[in-house]
Amino acid sequence: MSRIQQHLSAAKEAGKKILVAYVVNGDPFPEATLPTLQKMVEQGVDIIELGVPFSDPMAEGPVIQKGHERALVHHTSLKGTLQLVKTFRKTNQTTPIVLMGYANPVERFGYHAFAKAAAEAGVDGLLTVDLPPEEVVDLKKELDANGLDNIFLLAPTTTVERAKKIAALASGFLYYVSLKGVTGAGHLDVADVKQKLDAFGELTDLPLCVGFGIKDPATAKAIAELADGVVIGSVLVEKMGQMEKNSADEIANAVGEIVGGIRRAI
C-alpha cells in the first residue's frame, strides 16, 4: 500500500478531513522550503503538494505564477526538487509528497529516469497539469512500475462519462478543480461544487479533494463538509511572496499559522 493510501485510510478511520497544502519549491528562496514543509506538517497537513517551478505555468493564477517566477530566479529545477524531497525524508518518512507541475521538465528529465529518481527520493505521487489521461499513458507506466500514484484532475467541465474513465485509472486521490479558471481565482460557488461532487463521488472509492479558490478557513470548512479533503495553495504562496525579505524560519512560521487555522476549521 502506498504512503498516500496508508495516510488517507488512517485519516478516514479517524473521521478526519484531508488537508493538502501547496507551496512552490524554491519560493521565495531555496532555503525557505524545507522549514516551511516541516512547519506545515507540524500544523496538521496530510499531504504536501510541492510545486515544481516552470517558465510557463498555464493553469496558475497571478499569485502562483509569481511564486514560480521567484523560484526560477534561483534556478530551482526538477532535479533540485527531488534533492529537496530526499533531504525532507531524512526526518520525515510518513507525510506523503505529491509533486505538482507541468509536462516539459519531466519530458526533459526522461519519463523512465524521472520515475526511478522520484521514487528513490521519496516522492509518492505526481500531478502534471498538462498531462490529461490521454497524454499521460507512457509516463503512467513508468510511475506504476515505481509505485508512484498519478493524481488525476476532475473539472467542472468533465462529463460524468469521462469522469468514470478517469476514476478507473486513478490511484491515491482525485483532485476536483472547484471552478472554471486558474488557481487562486475568486469565484468559487459552493452549491456548484456540491452538485458535481455528488455526481463524481458515486464513481469512485478514492478520496475526493477539492482545490482552486479556497482562500480562508470559512471556505475551507464549507468545502470540507462536501468533500473528503481540501487543497490550499494560493493563500500560502501569497504570504511567502510578501515575506521575500524575511528569514526562512519567519516564513515557515507564517505559513504554518495559516495551515493551522485551516486545519482547525475543517
Partner 1 sequence: MNSKETVNTASVDYAQFPDSEGRFGIFGGRFVSETLIHALDELEDIYYRLKDDPDFQAEFDKDLAHYVGRPSPLYFAERWTRELGGAKIFLKREDLNHTGAHKVNNTIGQALLAKFTGKKRVIAETGAGQHGVATATVAARLGLKCRVYMGSEDVKRQALNVYRMKLLGAEVFPVTSGSRTLKDAMNEAMRDWATNVDDTFYIIGTAAGPHPYPELVRDFQCVIGREAREQCLTQTGKLPDALVACVGGGSNAIGLFHPFLTDTSVKMYGVEAGGLGLDSGKHAAPLNRGIPGVLHGTRTYLMEDENGQIIETHSVSAGLDYPGVGPEHSWLKDIGRVNYVAINDDEALAAFRKLTLTEGIMPALESAHAMAYVEKLAPQMSKDQIIIANLSGRGDKDILTVAALDGITV
Whichever of 110 and 147 has its CB closer to partner 1, that residue is 110
| Number of Cβ atoms within 10 Å of the Cβ of 113 | 11
Between 102 and 173, CB nearer to partner 1 = 102
Up-side HSE of residue 231: CA atoms within 13 Å toward CB?
A: 27
Strand partners, 101: 128
Q: Which residue's C-alpha cell is 504536501?
A: 48
Q: From the CB of 76, what's the least distance to partner 1, in Å?
A: 9
Please state the length of the chain.
266
Output DSSP code: residue 231. E
For the CB of residue 131, give the shortest distance to partner 1 in the complex, in Å: 7
Cβ neighbours for 244, distance < 8 A, ≥ 6 positions apart: 28, 29, 70
Please identify, using beta-carbon distances, which residue of 93 and 157 lies nearer to partner 1: 157
Q: Which cell numbers in the block locate residue 62?
A: 497571478
CB of 220 to partner 1, least distance (A): 22
The total of other beta-carbon atoms located within 10 Å of residue 86's CB is 14
CB nearer partner 1, residue 52 or residue 240: 52
The binding site for partner 1 (CB under 8 A) comprises: 54-62, 65, 69, 72, 75, 77-79, 102-110, 129-132, 134-135, 152-159, 162, 177, 180-182, 185
Report the residue number, 31 or 69, with the smaller CB distance to partner 1.
Answer: 69
How far apart are CB 61 and partner 1 at their closest, in Å?
8
Using omega within 30 degrees of 0 as the cis cutoff, is the peptide bond preceding 28 cis? yes
Nearest to partner 1 of 13, 134 (CB atom): 134
Which residue's CB is nearer to partner 1, number 45 or number 64? Answer: 64
Least distance in angstroms from the C-beta of 45 to partner 1: 24
Asked whether 102 and 56 are in contact (CB, 8 A), the reply is yes
DSSP β-ladder status, 174-177 and 18-24: unpaired
**CA separation (Å) from 14 to 7, 17, 48, 81, 174?**
11, 9, 19, 32, 20
Q: Strand (E) positions, the chain? A: 18-24, 47-51, 97-101, 125-128, 149-150, 152-154, 174-177, 208-211, 229-232
